[in-house]
Amino acid sequence: MLEVKNLHASAAGKEILKGVDLEVKQGEIHAIMGPNGSGKSTLAQVLAGRDVYAVMQGEIVYEGKNLLDMAPEDRAREGIFLAFQYPMEIPGVSNMYFLKAALNNVRKHRGLPDLDAMDFLSLVRQKMKLLNIDEALMSRAVNEGFSGGEKKRNEIFQMAVLEPKLAIMDETDSGLDIDALRLVADGVNALRSPERSIIVVTHYQRLLNYIVPDFVHVLYNGRMVKSGGKELALELEKKGYGWLEEELQIA
Amino acid sequence: MPEAGEKRKAEESYFADFAAMERASNGASWLRALRKQGMERFVEMGFPTTRQEAWRFTNTAVLAQTIFRPALPADDSSAIDGNAWFFRGEAARLVLVNGHFSARLSSPASLPRGVRVMSLRHAVESHGALVEERLGRFADSAHEAFVALNTALFTDGAFIEIADGVTLETPMHLVYLRSDDAEGTVTHPRNLVVVGRGAQALVIESYRSSAEEKYFTNAVTEFVVGENSSVEHVRLQQESGQAFHVGNVVAHQGRASRFLSHSVSLGAQLARHDIRSVLAGEGAECTLNGLYQVGGRQHVDHHTTLDHAMPHCGSREYYRGVLDGKSSAVFNGAIVVRKDAQKTDAIQSNKNLLLSEEATINTKPELQILADDVRCTHGATVGQLDPEAIFYLRARGIGLEAARHLLTRAFANDVISRIHFAPARERLEATLLSRLSAEWKPGEVL
């Protein structure tokens, strides 16, 4: 489904990703861990098409297509979803309007007709229940005045409505208390399916207790330095990233 | 200086219009005197120049050098197109085509007792004393050249009078249309709205043209807002892109009255709006909202004045601008707090969105505070669309252009959403949207 090969990316002339390789097959859940500044969020944003990052080298193939040739909106329409670490507030645009526009753009791309207001509402209600989201939130402006937890839940809610093929969760756990974390994890787990792949970018192992990955990768200083199963996350949690640094220096 | 010569010729042409009017008129002597005074003041002042502080950023040279002839009554039908009506629903409509009252297009609606809506010309004939007492009392012919010119030369407009205690739900809609043969003409619409004690009224003014023509509209609207009364005023300027529009709105507010003004300025190559309210009674409240959205080489200027003359008055001012292309805009918000106006509470905000690097905005608060126990706050911002917000929308499948439109619309809508009267608000939302994109469907809530 997704193949990242020798990806080099920089921002403002500074190289952040220095040759990342990653392969994600359909239905798999991959966790990408790493200390602050290792390039985790950059990788997530590059996958979604953020243009402040310049790709200097390497390629990304998504479902057989060159992802780097695609505009961000086309990536979204093709089924890539980035749950933002810092979701934007959009004053003056209701959550409802925003989500409907997003969904109908995705549907149009898939050759489906626009959902009418009634069908949209019933779909939205069903997904709101899943994430325990208050209906009043739908008529509020996108993320405006939302708490940190509400913003993150809103991201997963959007993901539930848009039903992506590849979901990338960028530090979705940051700033969440344990209850909110569980809600978010339940929401994500409900979306697990053999057709859907998920990349979980996180600093801490905590989220991975709830969203159990198939593979864990460690991104360090712009490169994937270690990969393994879910037990790797536990090891990192126990020993910290310092252990890895030492190991890498020895190697 | 050839420009000075052209300007003098244009000023002389207005004087000739005035002389012709004087010869033809056998009207009331008070009105003739008022007009004469206006003409004299205009001749003395001439058109404003950029050397005057209030006109520093708005150059009237082209307007001042152009000779416009008085607009003649036109065949009504040519002014009417499918979009000519500003909003749906019941309203008392007073329609003026090329500045002349059109009985055929106007519809008085069934108005309660104590409400008078008629053409100003008619009112001068039938209710002369009433008009004489109020007309020109608050609009400043002595210092404002365009007001003076209007006073000298107005042909018609609206007269509205709401008696004490009358609550009028039906909006009064003053529609100024231009026929498609209005090229090179000038009109001076003049409106007088008198709202009695404890009364309530909604007045909508819209200015538009069915053809892309060069003409000049010089309008003055005076409101007398009685004690405890409440007035909402929506003014839509959607003239032809070649037109010149100068509009003066003056309100004089009594004790505990409320005046809520919305100025939406979209059209004209050059538009200047002077909006002033005098809070002349204790406890009066005034809100001035405005939206200007321009592109190409359009220029739009709002000069607002909140004149706090008495204690315990509040004012809120909320203006936003969207500028594209090589357009330019001016916002100058004056707040005057006079010596007696203790406990004044005034808040002003002006936010601007520049969609192009070539667009320019001059925004300035102008505070003149003579009382000591007051709260006046003001803030102005100038910015571009937030690239991170655009990326967020695109990452959800919304295309680049649509994302830009959506954010622009949301920015502008923040002003429109403050209009209380729903049909006008909805109509304006649709108007703004049709300027932005075809994606939105009427009735859809943003």
CB atoms within 10 A of CB A23: 13
Q: What is the pLDDT of residue B76?
A: 62
Whether residue B300 is contained in a domain is answered as no
Tell me the per-residue pLDDT of A56-100, one tens digit each, with 9 for 90 and over: 999 999 999 999 999 999 999 999 999 999 999 999 898 998 999
Residues 77-136 of B with CB under 8 A from A: none
User: Is B397 near chain A, with CB under 8 Å?
Assistant: yes
Identify whether B370 is part of a domain: no
Q: B279 is written with which tokens?
A: 């809070």
Q: Among B281, B315, B334, where does a domain finish?
A: B281
Cβ–Cβ under 8 Å, residues B151 and B136: yes
DSSP letters for chain A:
-EEEEEEEEEETTEEEEEEEEEEE-TT-EEEEE--TTSSHHHHHHHHHT-TTSEEEEEEEEETTEEGGGS-HHHHHHTTEEEE-SSPPPEEEEEHHHHHHHHHHHHHHHTTPPPPPHHHHHHHHHHHHHHTT--THHHHSEETTT--HHHHHHHHHHHHHHH--SEEEEESTTTT--HHHHHHHHHHHHHT--TT-EEEEEESSSGGGGTS--SEEEEEETTEEEEEE-HHHHHHHHHHHHHHHHHHHHH-
How confident is the model over A92-116, as pLDDT tens digits? Answer: 898 998 999 999 999 999 999 999 8
Burial letters A220-241, b for 16+ CB under 10 A, else e:
bebbbbbeeebebbebbeeeeb
- Chain segment B352-361, per-residue pLDDT in tens: 999 999 999 9
| Cα separation, A164 vs A103, whole angstroms | 11
Whether pLDDT at B436 is above 80: no
Distance (Å, rounded) from C-alpha A227 to C-alpha B144?
77
More confident residue, B1 or B112: B112
Q: What percent of chain B has pLDDT over 90?
A: 77
Checking DSSP bridges between strand B157-162 and strand B115-119, what pairing results, if any?
antiparallel
Mean pLDDT, residues A214-227: 94
Query: Would you state the structure tokens that stand for residue B50, as one six-digit string?
Result: 């950029």
Residues 6+ away with beta carbon under 8 Å from B67: B9, B10, B13
Q: Answer yes or no: do B179 and B42 share one domain.
A: yes
Whether the pLDDT of residue B87 is over 80: the answer is no
Q: Residue B13: is its pLDDT beyond 60?
A: yes
pLDDT tier, B182 (very low <50, low <70, confident <90, very high otherwise): confident
**pLDDT, mean of residues B269-279:** 98
DSSP symbol at B59 = -
Residue B362: C-alpha distances to residues B66, B336, B350 (Å):
26, 20, 11
pLDDT at residue B228 in the model: 98
**Are residues B406 and B271 located together in one domain of the fold?**
no
Which of B281, B315, B348 is where one domain is finished? B281
pLDDT at B315: 98
Residue A235 vs residue B281, higher pLDDT: B281
Candidate from B255-269, B296-310, B418-432 with smallest mean pLDDT: B418-432
Looking at the structure, do residues B58 and B186 belong to the same domain, yes or no? yes
Which residues of chain B are within 8 Å of residue A102 when distances are taken between CB atoms?
Answer: 393, 396-398
Nearest chain A residue (CA) to B412: A92
Give me the residue from A51, A84, A105 closest to B397, CB to CB.
A105
The number of beta carbons lying within 10 Å of the beta carbon of residue B382 is 16
Residues B277 and B390 reside in one and the same domain = no
Q: Is residue B302 part of a domain?
A: no
For residue B362, give the nearest of B380, B379, B349 by alpha carbon: B380
Whether residue B414 and residue A101 make contact (CB cut-off 8 A), yes or no, is no
DSSP one-letter string for B355-381: -STT-EEEEEEEEEE--SS-EEEEEEE
**CA B180 centroid distance within chain:** 22
pLDDT at position A19, please? 95
Judged by a CB distance cut-off of 8 A, whether residue B443 touches chain A is: no
> Is A91 within 8 Å of B406 when comparing Cβ atoms?
no
Name the B residues in 355-394 with CB < 8 Å from any A CB.
386-389, 391-394
**CA proximity to B371, closest of B334, B338, B347, B345:** B338
* Structure confidence at residue A243 as a pLDDT band (50, 70, 90): confident
Exposure class string for B142-177: b at 16+ Cβ within 10 A, else e: eebbbbbbbbbbbbbbbbbbbbeebebebbbbbbbb
Q: How many CB pairs under 8 A join A and B?
A: 83
Radius of gyration of chain A (CA): 18
**Domain-located, residue B274:** yes
Residues of chain B found within 8 Å of residue A71, distances taken between Cβ atoms: 394, 399-400
Q: How many domains does chain B have?
A: 2
Which residue among A76, A92, A98 places its CB closest to the CB of B413?
A92
Check whether residue B390 and residue B260 sit in a common domain.
Answer: no
Chain A residues with beta carbon closer than 8 angstroms to that of B388 = 88
Q: Show the tokens assigned to A222.
A: 């712009």
Does B104 share its domain with B234?
yes
Within this chain, do residues B269 and B123 fall inside the same structural domain, yes or no?
yes
B272 and B417 fall within a common domain: no
Residues 6+ apart with CB under 8 A from A181: A173, A206, A207, A210
Kindly report, residue by residue over A20-46, the tens digit of the pLDDT.
999 999 999 999 999 888 999 999 999
Q: Mean pLDDT across the stretch B234-241?
A: 94
Give the separation between CA A225 and CA A213, rounded to whole angstroms.
Answer: 18
| Assigned domain for B216 exists | yes
Residue B107 clears pLDDT 90, i.e. is over it:
no
Q: Which of A71, A84, A103 sits opposite B392 (nearest CB)?
A: A84
B249, part of any domain: yes
For position B445, what pLDDT does the model report?
Answer: 47
Contact B398 A102 (CB under 8 A): yes
List chain B residues with CB under 8 Å of A103: 397
Q: Between chains, do A76 and B388 touch, taking CB under 8 Å as contact?
A: no
Instruction: Examine residue B287 and state whether it is found in any structural domain, yes or no.
Output: no
Q: Does a structural domain hold residue B319?
A: no
Predicted local distance difference test score (pLDDT) of residue A46: 97
Predicted pLDDT of residue B169? 87
CA distance B192 to B220: 9
User: Which of these three, B224, B249, B281, is where a domain ends?
Assistant: B281
| B134 and B261 together in one domain | yes
For the stretch A141-183, pLDDT in tens is 999 999 888 899 999 999 999 999 999 999 998 888 888 898 8
Q: What is the pLDDT of residue B86?
A: 59
Please indicate, yes or no, whether residues B47 and B177 belong to a single structural domain of this protein.
yes
Domain span including residue B416: 386-446
Per-residue confidence band for A251, with pLDDT thresholds at 50, 70 and 90: low
Asked if B445 and A97 come within 8 Å (Cβ–Cβ), the reply is: yes
pLDDT over 50 (residue B440): no
Residue B83 has pLDDT above 60, yes or no: no
Mean pLDDT of chain A: 92
- Name chain B contacts of A75, Cβ cutoff 8 Å: 395
Interface of A with B (CB under 8 A): 48-52, 71-73, 75-77, 81-82, 84, 87-88, 90-94, 96-99, 101-103, 105-106, 109, 141, 158, 162
What percentage of chain B exceeds 70 in pLDDT? 93
More confident residue, B131 or B9: B131
Q: Binning pLDDT at 50, 70 and 90, where does residue B25 land?
A: confident
With a cut of 50, say whether residue B442 has pLDDT above it: no
| Residue B369 β-bridge partners | B337
Mean pLDDT of A211-228: 94
Helix axis angle for A117-130 and A148-162, nearest 10°, is 130
What's the order of all strands across the beta sheet hosting A166-170?
A80-83, A166-170, A197-202, A29-33, A215-220, A223-228
Do B126 and B9 reside in the same domain of the chain? yes
